[in-house]
Structures are given as C-alpha cells and as structure tokens.
Structure 1
C-alpha cells in the first residue's frame, strides 16, 4: 500500500507541476519536452522552442499583461508546427487513401461526442465522422486533396482532446496506462473514504450531545486532512474534464460532478473554520470513490470491446515460409507476409496460421476456423480447397499456393470490416446523445434556481440542496450505457460468427417483420451437383457436356461450377462470350453460336419451347444452338442441416419467412415445402427480387434479406437490413449490413436473439436513467436527499447501467 500511495503522490505532484497544455498556444506539451518561459513571475511550460521564444519576446517587450487579459490561446504559425509532430508528418505521407481511424482520449459523454463530430465535420474535405465512445476510437473519411491526418489531429487537440492516428499497440498501451492511473486514484479515494468514515461515524452516533465541541472539531479536522488526497489527486479526472468542457463552451457530465465536489469541499472548509454547521467530508470521499469505481468498470468494458479486433489482428502471421524451387525439396525462406504475391508457394507447419488466402496444393490436414467463423471443431481440408488467411493448421504440414496479397486477404478485409463495425450509432443512441448534451446545461440552470429558492426559504439549507442536485444527477447513463451495450453485443456476435457492419443492424433486425431468404448458397449448401445430362438433339452426351463446360469456363456461378466439375478438361474454347445476369451465357465455338442457361433465355435462340419437363426439386440448365435444342442438365443441391431449425425459430418469433429465388418456381416451392416456408417465389431475376422487396416495404413491412452476397447485391442493398454469407474473397463484394462468417445459418438465429436482448437492455438502461433522474433530482431539490446519499445514488446508477450492458457478453 505504501508503494501505491507513494506513486499516487508522485502522480499528484506531476499533475500539478506539469500543465497539460502549452501556456502560449494551448497545444499539448510533448513527452520529454522541457521548453519554458518566464511569464507573470513564474516559469511556464511550452510545447516547442517557437512558443518559448514568442513568450520571451512578449514579456521582454513589456507586454506581459497580454496573458492576463487574453480570451483565447495564441493562433500563430508555430502552433501548426507544434501540431505537425514527426509521427503525424509520416502519417500524412502514408495516409493518402482518405480513410482511417484515430484514437481519442477524454471523451466522456454525449456533449463530447456532439462537439467532436461537429468540429471535425466542419473541416474542409471531411466526408464522414463516426465516434465510438466504447472503444475510444473515431473513424473518418476525407478527401486527401483537401485534408490531411495532421489537420484532423490538430483540430481535435485545439478543442482539448488528445488524439493520434490509431495504432493497435499504442492504443492498448494508452488503455493500460489509463487503467493503472485510474486504479491508483480509486485506491486513494477508497482509503480516504474508509479513514474519514472512522471519524465521521462517532460524530453521527454522538448526535445527542455526548461529544463535546472540542472533540467534534478534532474529528472534523482529521476528516479534512484525510479528504485532501481524494480531492487533490483522485478527483483530478473530474476537475480536468470540467475545465476542458468549460473552456470550449460545451459543459459535459464532468462539470456537475466537479462543481459538486468543489462546492461540498468549499462549504465544509467554511464550516470547519467557522466552528459551526455540517461538514460533508465523508460524502465527498464516498462520492469520489463510487464514481471512480463506476468509471473503472466503464474503462474495463471499453478495453474488452477492443479485444475482438486485437484478436483478429494477432491472427495474421507476420512472416511465412516461402518455398524456393521444387516443393518436394522443402527449401524454404522466411519472408514477411506482406511480401507474398499470388502464385507463391508457402509451407504451413502444424500449429501455424495460413499467412494469406490460398489453395491447398499438397497435403491433407484439419484446419481451425474459430478465429474467422467461431466454429469450435476443426474442419477436414484436402488438396484443391481454398483456405482464408488466419486459419490455423491443426494437422500435418501442407503446401498452399497464395491467391491474394496479405493486404487483400479475407482476414485483412475482415479486420477492416470490424474496424468499421460499431463506429456509427443507431437512432436510439443518437437520441440519447442529443438528450445528454442538453441535460447538463439544464441541470446547471436548475441548480441555480434551487439555490435561489432555498436561500429565500431557509438559507441554512440552500448550499446543501444545491450540492445534492449537482451530485445526484446521472447524465452518463444516457450517453455511455448505450454504446457499452452495443459494443458488448458486437463482441458477442463476432465470437458466434456474425459481424454487424452497419450501425443500425441490430436495431433494424429486431424490428424486422419479414425475413427473406435466397435459396442457392443460403438455405442450401451452394454446391449443386450435376445429376443427369439428357441430350434432346443430335449431339451425344459427352459433346454437349464439353460445349457447356467451355461456355462456362470463366463463370463464377455455382451451377457453372457443377458443370465444369463433371468435365474439367472440355478440350474446346469459347469466344465472344456474353453474360446475362440471372439468365445465362452466349458464346461461339468453332464459329457456331450456343446458349446455355434458363429455358426462356435459350428459347430465344433455339425457337419453340423446352421439350421435356424437369423432375420436381431439380434445377435445369438448357443448351441450344440456332434453331435446335441440344441438352438439358439436371442439377440439385442439398439443404443446410440447420435450415429447418432457423426457419422455425423465425416463425416462432412472429416473423414472416419468404423464399425468393432465381430458380424455377417448382424448385423453389419444393425447397420451401421441406423447410415449412409458406411463401415461395421462384424465377426472379435480381431486379425482380429488388422490386419484390420494395413492394413489401411499401406495404409497411420491415424486410431482412439473407443472400449469398454475389448475385444478390442489389436486393441486399435495398432491404432494410441484410446479411450475406461470407465465404472467402466474396467478402469484397458485400453490400450487406451483416456478415455470417461461418458456413452455416445457425448464427443468424443467434443474431436475432442478440438483437432482441440488446435493444431490451438499451431500453432498460434509458428507462432507468430517465426514471432515476426524474425521481432523484426533485428529491434532492426538495431537501429530502443530503449530499452523501446523492453521491451513492449517482455512482450506483452509473455502475448499474454499465453492468447491465455487460450482461450481453455472457453466453
């Protein structure tokens, strides 16, 4: 304990001796910077030699009263030089993409969010600003020609916030430093509270006059001495935050807290010197301790909110064993993963992670996909299978051919999506921010009114009532508990294999009235197999299959892949290919034009109608040439094992389930019957799917769309909320609000449950915060609550909403 107290005293001395900002221009004094100038008879810290020289010149010229009369910090060319620190200049060179994240410190409430987003939004070239209070990060998009990262950081520092371009290690170190400092302040406050209570309780118990005045005064002076460490050290975050808020003209929630502490301490000191009246030293220490305890819980929640992203970042190996020459010789070289290029062969040993996306070319093993999809069991992997970066080899060594750079890998793309996830705020959080921003202003006005009224009715109680009103209010529940709940929910979903990208995902999914599923690759495995080739013209089965494989050689459609798998070496080459999305392909082989695809598309070239009917539940692809039908290809896909349960859970939740497919109506109806879906619509092109969703929305429906993320881009964008099956490089084509990272649909139902729980907890927090303030503030204003009870209520309210939000992390 002595070591902690010693460190706390050093921190307090440093905090008093070293101003946070340059005395001349207001910019933060860099670590290690010791430039000073004598102003007003005292040595003042400066951020750079330029400011020190300017201050010396002002004082030497007999204009020292400038600093006493100024209303704002100096705006000079040296200020810009102070902001453009070396690391910012380097980031300006690297940050040419116009998109990035920044770490920001000191954000406490909705007023802070409002000010930061408004100030950055005024910068030339800034297009998007989203501050995530839970993680202490801000995401921005800007025009590189009009704005630089250094200008963004300079703007944030100008309004009193420490900010720098996001770096995972630096961000984590900052959180750890803040955690250690806060713990020491909490420890000192707790120690002061316990010691002060030892002297306060006898005074309370001796209220019948059994303790003489001298002993009472001794107890009060002892309480005063023990309260000083809590006020001068533990309460520093509140005073610093309040001063910053008042200086920028936008009072946040630290203002009433700091005023309450200062007013109670000042009033107690006056009483102590006068020798009569009540002192509130016990209330002060208890209030500081409980509020710091709530803030410590909040910091822990913020730290946990960043764990998922840090885990993903650590999942990407920094190096890889690249093969040289013949793979059989196992001649490898250790190279940075960023140096890998498509076509390179890498050796992945047991226990190592795949450095980037690639295809297995040698060896069979088991792979652990838990980092990407949350799957608990390893999956068997054979030659020819695609592996995303970050997957851990859980079996024997394999050789992988690189198919993408490390920057464009599935894991890198997922990290970027996670960075974006949670940056914005849903409507309910925006409402809370707006209310909290004006809550403090109204509270300060109310405090003045309460003091004035009590000063007329009973002057002896006016000070106590005003302090109680300041202390009992709880604006943090409105502005912080909501993002804490959203961060906890996002972390829970990510661990279960669902990434909520858009800010409104959970809120809209909970309100959805219709859940619309695509069929292929969504309700089914998306790996159809060719069951039968039926020639209907003059060509034999093998020739028709070769023509079909040649026409579809460059197609990524799953049906095309099934045909190619049946004839991997067609021996023919198609030219002049023309693709029609949702219909088919036209091309020429040896001068003859062919078409393959849906019956209506092929009929435009062949003439007439399809000659035979397809078996029930089978998808058919037709092949024809001018004036002649050639063959019918029958393909079928298997249902996902969990599809029946997922559909049932949505139906039980009161949502209408719809199957919307590009396959023929008979195929769509057969799948719907197996799954218990009452509404099935087949034969819909992408534009027709979008039109169908628009019609539902016109009727008042809130539509959630689930598709494979490739051909369904339009309808995924058009739905109120959408989820895409995330498989490998398809992440790059997503137009959805959420991503199912695994192979199954099970996490989608879990996402619906999490959305329901999240919105319920957010509403509980907001209702509690509203009810508490509506009950507690009038009680304090009327004199029913004294300051120490008010402090307990405020701190307990803050802790309650944070702990309630953290329940979402539990499985």
Structure 2
C-alpha cells in the first residue's frame, strides 16, 4: 500500500507522534514535511532519501506496529529499519574504520538513570561475539563500541541495546545538543509539577499536623490525594519506567527502591484515607519526588556542561559548503549540505567561513584560526599543499581546498573519539567503586526489609516509613559518579589547554612519574630548518637577500628549500641544482637586467680565488649558506632547527617538581649535547638507534623509575610503546600518534606541566568523592534505620550527596594554567 503523510504517526515506523515531537523531528520528503517520532527515525529516513531510495516508502506493504523496545524476538528479527544502519552512507557519520578489520562506532544512549544501567549495557555488548570492547561514559551517556566489522553488523549492536529497553542513536553533535535541550525541558516540566504539587499538599498538611482543621480532615486528605496524583503519575514517571525496564531484564538499579518507596507510600496513604488511618504521607511523597527530581536535574546540568566541550568541537562544522566544479576561474559554484561533502571534492572557503572537512589547499593563501583545536589564539598561515582541519575558520582571503577526509574519518571526529576513550577507561579505584555500587542495590533492599520487620515486630506504627527512608537515603549514585565526573572534567580542561588525552590511565599514572625522556628533533626542536640569522656582506638589504634565495629555492624539493617557502620570491630563471654544493640561476631585478646568483657552499657560491671572509660569523649551531650575486658574496644565511619556545619552561618546571629529565637522540653530532646544556638537561645519550633508546628506558624502569616519553617520529614508536606514559607532539607521524597515550595539540610543551598538576588534583578529587560517598552511606544508614530521618529528608540527603560529588569534580574544569615557578595549584 502507499504510505501517505499522517500527522499522528511517524512517517518511517508508524509509531504515534505527539505534536511537539512532530514539530521537532519532521523532515522534508518529496517537498512535504513528514512527522518523525525520534532522531533515529529521522536519520534513517534522511539516509534513505539521500541514497535515492525514497520509493521505499511508496511500495512497502506494511509498517511495524511497535517500537523496538516493545518488540518480541520474532518481531524484532523481522524489523528491517535497523538494517539501514548497515549502509555505507549512514555509517560514514558515526563509524570509523580502524584497520585490521576493526571498526568503532559512537552511539548516544537514551534512558540511562544510574551506573547500573551503564554496567548492564556494557556487560551485554561485551558478551557478543566479535565485540572487542564496549564502554559507556556515564557523564555524557555516550557509548563507544569497537568490534570486528565482518563478524557483526552495526544493526545487531543497536538491536541488543533496544532489547534491553534503551534507545540508541548514532552520535551527532547537532542531535546530541537537541537531545540535551529536550531532556532539560522535560526535566523542568516534571520538576515544576512536583514542586507545585508539593507546595499545595503542604498547605493542606500543615493545618492537619497542628490540629487546626480536624473537622475537614477527610476533605483535606482527599484533596491532597488528588493533588498528589499528577506528581506520581507524571513527575515520578521516569522512576517507574526505569524500574519496570530493570525488572524485565532482571537487573537492579537505584530506580527500583526509589519507585517502591514512592508507590508504596502513595498506596498506603490512599488506604489510610479511605479507612480513616492515623496518618497519610501525601506531602512526603511529593517532597520526596521533588527533591529526587531536583537532584537529578542539577546532576544533569553538570553532566551536560562536562559533555559540552567535546560536542562543541563537532558543532564547529558548518551546515553548508560551496562545491566547485573544477579548479579554474570559471568553475561553477554549488551550495550543498556539509553531509554531502565527499573526499576529492573541491570546495571554496570564503573569509569568515568555517572549513567543513579535512583537506589541503590547492589554490590561494590565507590565515586560519585553529584556536578551538590547538588552544593557540594566533592564526596560522596556509599556502598551497598545507593541510586544513575541518571546523577551523578561514580569516583573510578566499582559498580553494581539496577534501581528504569527512565524517568519522575526519580529525575532529578522531579527537572526540580519543576524548571519549580517555574518559571511559576507568582507573583501578573506579573499578572497585563500580563493583561496590553494582551489589549495593540488592543490599539496600535486604537491609530495608530487615528494618521493616524489626520495627514491625517492635510494634512501631512508622515501621513502613522508616523502611522507605532506608531505601532512599542509601543510594549509591554518589559512589558511581565519583570517578567518571572527575575524569570528564579533567580531560575537558586539558583539551582546552592543548593536551589531548587519549587513554584513561594517563591521569592515574602521571602523578607517579619519576623521569621525563625527550627525543630531540621534532620534539624539543621544531623538526624543520628555519632561517636563524642573516649576515650582510654586500650592498643588498635583508629583504632582497631572502627574496633572491627564495626565488632560487622555489622549485626545489630539498629540505633546505622549505626554510624559504614562506618568503615572497624574486624572479629567478634558469635554476640549476648541483648535488651537495648548492643552487644557481639568473636573477632579474628589472625587466632588462639579468644577474647570475648562487646559494650554497662558499666554494660553490664564489670563485676559489675569492675566498669569503668568515671571521665575523658566530659559532652557533646550524648550517651556513653563502649567497653571491655576479660572483660577489652579498650575505651569509644561517639555517637551524630552532628550539621550541616552551621547552625551557617545561624543563625548568619538571626540575622544580623533582622530576628527572633525559635526552635520547639518534643524532650523532654535537647538537644534542648543546641543546641539553641550553635547556638544563643533565642526562644525554646521542647517536642511539630505536632499539638502544628502548633499552635505556627499560634500564630506568628496572631501577624502579616510572618513565614518561615525549617523541614525534616513527623511530620513536618502540620507546613510546615501552614507556609507562607516551606523549606525542602535534607534528608527530601518524604511527607515533597511534602509539601515544596523549597528544600535544597546541605545540606548547609546557602544557605537560598543567597535565601533571591536573592529574594530581584529579586523583585527590576522586579519593575525596569516594571517601565522601562511603562516609555518607555509613553515617546515614544507621540514622535512617533508627527512624530519625523521614522519607522527604532522605531524598534531600541522597540528592545532596550526589550533587556534592559532581560539584567537587567540576572544580577540575576550572584549574588554571600553573606557572612553572609556582608549582601545582591547590585543590
């Protein structure tokens, strides 16, 4: 049958759609706005249409009657919607190919209420054949799954999550932001209903408590019951839904005792109302629900804040791009959606526009603002063949780029995945806390049952409500939140400072480091020749000298030529290169004038009979080149591999923190010793092979030292892999970045000092959080069991405990950059 638009049904799956959902997720198909029930259906529908398969909706003969969470196994296997996630077009958005047949997907999970939910999802997915690792970040509800692509399709992973009663959708910064907004609005509405109900019921309860309206007691109890109904049936609904879901999969979370407390107190109060019992607790139910919702709302706000930094990276990508038909002045321009950009496309980037994908410059020159990725506020000049990163902003002039990577393969997505991996890998202390929390709920139910039986046996009329207080006050939420909130806040703060942590053990291991080992070229130095000094010996000025040299080197592929790439070249013709000696040609200072010029060794630049004077040259490390015009020496140019400006402050800061330093370099010359002396590094080994570097690190480790290695090249990969912590610099080879535990994205080595200090603070915060959570439960349990805490006060205590943990962790996001001389900040 033909499928037509229906404002009350999802166009894709046929499920009922509320008016607000229809307005939020509707999409254009054949020029008509069609309602969708969720972002998942919207994404699938858009993929079907974009793939040219929109006739699917015209010719399908049946619609699924239930949402994936409600399907039984047979119906779920027959459902064909989830298989659309296996299409290549859909997977470009959220699946990255890691090589060796491995793939990695990032999904956003809806319906998570506590750490037990995260444990259940991880446990179920990790049990699937072909899944290498599934880790869910409780701070941002983001799931990262790594698996063997040939053994398991993406749809099977999502199907397993649906079967557990949770919703999964591909991670998208835009969708994630919309989901956060919707979650916030829903929470505020439920909080408002609970708050208004609490105030109204309290107005009726107070006169009864003080004995001022005994003649109207039945009426006030009935009115309180009616006012409590919206609180229980709407405001507290998330607790009931989560509890039912947990019971279906036979896994306890904190929503089970919370739901029991609400529903039992409400039903007991109804029974007391109609049977003229001594007391009703409608006010306690409303207050209990309100304070629980308030705690979760504030916790949600903190979680959104911590997850925003990573999402903000992906929101840097523009919505549209300008595609060119070819690289000519007469090329036609077409405006397309950023999702349609493919590798190989030519894009025009105008000044002020964001770059929509990774690529290289093929035409033009401009400055690009990369502050969002590197933390450096100064723009970077980009010329032909320079790399561009999606999400950065073109500033000065139009440029044409060729796209090299999009979607999950782009650098922005890679950075976000690395951040997720760092936040999800749990330290040993976090694993202990998770094990405690996973068994805590069952213990709470047993303890509450024992308390109920004890007070019932003692004849206490409040036995039931004492047991409810025990159920509520001993929530393990604070214990479960202790570590993920701290890790998320710390990794976000360090990313903004220019250090991207990609493995979770870094923050745990950094405070224990005894020695930092550096490679030389490309790590402590820039790793490329630059013009360090120009000594004039003729009549030409410095600008003309460099212009002539740049003209000679313009077409050369020699490493020396790269030092002159950013200089505006003079007109030089008939350029010839002599291996091992230099380069020569004819300079045209005017249209009618032509002068022979030479750049290279002194014996090449000038005749042997005219030996140039070198007495005024300093003895600094580097390579001196002589430039001659018409066989007359006009200037000496010194090239060198300059030291990174931040290297000195880094070494000084490490020594102040009582951390040893060492330099291991494969360069057999004297430059390594000179650099170490300049920076104050005492332990220096020169002329080492990669194997010898690794052996030296192993020797230090055998002596009981924990070693951090900083490197950049392929030759550093073995020692990076062997060190306790490996950090690569921003210009490192891809293999070195893969082997590293963290990446310096800003180019500033002294960001390692902030990493050391933040790691120490993070460990303190985690211990503070876990200590508080355990102390709170140990103190609150006996007090509640003794009957001194009413249910509404128990809700306040539980919420306060979780909020204290989250607030303490948020302090890490405000740790300022320390000065090398000041030492670590205090937490």
Whether these two folds match at TM > 0.5 is yes
Give the superposition deviation at 1:226: 2.2
| Per-residue deviation, residues 268-324 of structure 1 (Å, max 9, x unmatched) | 333333434333322222221121112112322333344334332233444245374
Instruction: Work out the CA distance in 2 between the residues paired with 1:143 and 1:183.
Output: 42
Decide whether aligned partners of structure 1 residues 165 and 91 sit closer, same or farther in structure 2, where only a CA change above 3 A counts: farther
**1:474 matched residue in structure 2:** 475
Give the superposition deviation at 1:466: 0.7
Instruction: Work out the CA distance in 1 between the residues paired with 2:128 and 2:395.
Output: 50
**2:158 matched residue in structure 1:** 153
**1:674 matched residue in structure 2:** 678
The alignment partner of 1:99 has SS state of strand
Which residue, 182, 204, 210 being the options, matches 1:177? 182
Instruction: Work out the CA distance in 1 between the residues paired with 2:504 and 2:123.
Output: 19
**2:394 matched residue in structure 1:** 393
Q: TM-score, normalised by structure 1?
A: 0.74
Given that 1:374 and 1:497 are in contact with CA atoms closer than 8 Å, whether structure 2 keeps it comes out as yes
Instruction: Work out the CA distance in 1 between the residues paired with 2:122 and 2:89.
Output: 21
The alignment partner of 1:315 has SS state of coil
> Where do residues 370-449 of structure 1 align in structure 2 (5 Å cutoff)?
370-381=371-382, 386-395=387-396, 397-400=397-400, 402=402, 404-406=404-406, 410-411=411-412, 413-418=414-419, 420-449=421-450
Which residue, 738, 748, 755 being the options, matches 1:751? 755
The alignment partner of 1:422 has SS state of helix
Gaps of 5+ in 1: 1-12, 15-28, 33-47, 54-71, 533-548, 575-614, 622-632
Gaps of 5+ in 2: 1-16, 19-35, 40-60, 98-102, 534-551, 581-617, 625-636, 817-827
**1:785 matched residue in structure 2:** 789
**1:348 matched residue in structure 2:** 349
**2:239 matched residue in structure 1:** 238
| Per-residue deviation, residues 511-545 of structure 1 (Å, max 9, x unmatched) | 3232222222222222345889xxxxxxxxxxxxx
**1:688 matched residue in structure 2:** 692
Given that 1:485 and 1:805 are in contact with CA atoms closer than 8 Å, whether structure 2 keeps it comes out as yes
Give the superposition deviation at 1:394: 1.8
Give the superposition deviation at 1:619: 7.5
Instruction: Work out the CA distance in 1 between the residues paired with 2:362 and 2:150.
Output: 45
Given that 2:342 and 2:403 are in contact with CA atoms closer than 8 Å, whether structure 1 keeps it comes out as no
Instruction: Work out the CA distance in 2 between the residues paired with 1:428 and 1:469.
Output: 27
Instruction: Work out the CA distance in 2 between the residues paired with 1:109 and 1:347.
Output: 47
Instruction: Work out the CA distance in 1 between the residues paired with 2:357 and 2:248.
Output: 49
| Per-residue deviation, residues 41-65 of structure 1 (Å, max 9, x unmatched) | xxxxxxx979989xxxxxxxxxxxx
The alignment partner of 1:641 has SS state of coil
> Where do residues 653-672 of structure 1 align in structure 2 (5 Å cutoff)?
653-664=657-668, 666-672=670-676
Instruction: Work out the CA distance in 2 between the residues paired with 1:356 and 1:728.
Output: 21
Give the superposition deviation at 1:783: 1.9
**1:292 matched residue in structure 2:** 293
| Counterpart check, 1:116 vs 2:121 | yes
**2:10 matched residue in structure 1:** none
Instruction: Work out the CA distance in 2 between the residues paired with 1:281 and 1:715.
Output: 66
| Counterpart check, 1:726 vs 2:730 | yes
**1:459 matched residue in structure 2:** 460
Give the superposition deviation at 1:765: 1.4
Decide whether aligned partners of structure 1 residues 656 and 376 sit closer, same or farther in structure 2, where only a CA change above 3 A counts: same
The count of aligned residue pairs is 679
| Counterpart check, 1:190 vs 2:192 | no
Decide whether aligned partners of structure 1 residues 358 and 242 sit closer, same or farther in structure 2, where only a CA change above 3 A counts: closer
Give the superposition deviation at 1:794: 1.0
Decide whether aligned partners of structure 1 residues 91 and 179 sit closer, same or farther in structure 2, where only a CA change above 3 A counts: farther
Given that 2:84 and 2:155 are in contact with CA atoms closer than 8 Å, whether structure 1 keeps it comes out as no
**1:642 matched residue in structure 2:** 646
Give the superposition deviation at 1:736: 1.0
**1:577 matched residue in structure 2:** none
> Where do residues 210-289 of structure 1 align in structure 2 (5 Å cutoff)?
211=212, 213-289=214-290
Decide whether aligned partners of structure 1 residues 480 and 92 sit closer, same or farther in structure 2, where only a CA change above 3 A counts: farther
Instruction: Work out the CA distance in 1 between the residues paired with 2:116 and 2:343.
Output: 47
The alignment partner of 1:499 has SS state of strand
Instruction: Work out the CA distance in 2 between the residues paired with 1:789 and 1:99.
Output: 45
Give the superposition deviation at 1:759: 2.4
Decide whether aligned partners of structure 1 residues 346 and 73 sit closer, same or farther in structure 2, where only a CA change above 3 A counts: closer
Give the superposition deviation at 1:777: 0.8
Instruction: Work out the CA distance in 1 between the residues paired with 2:742 and 2:129.
Output: 31
Which residue, 310, 316, 322 being the options, matches 2:324? 322
**1:162 matched residue in structure 2:** 167
The alignment partner of 2:765 has SS state of helix
The alignment partner of 1:402 has SS state of strand
Q: What value does the CA root-mean-square deviation take over the aligned residues?
A: 4.2
Q: Which one is further off, 109-118 or 419-428?
A: 419-428
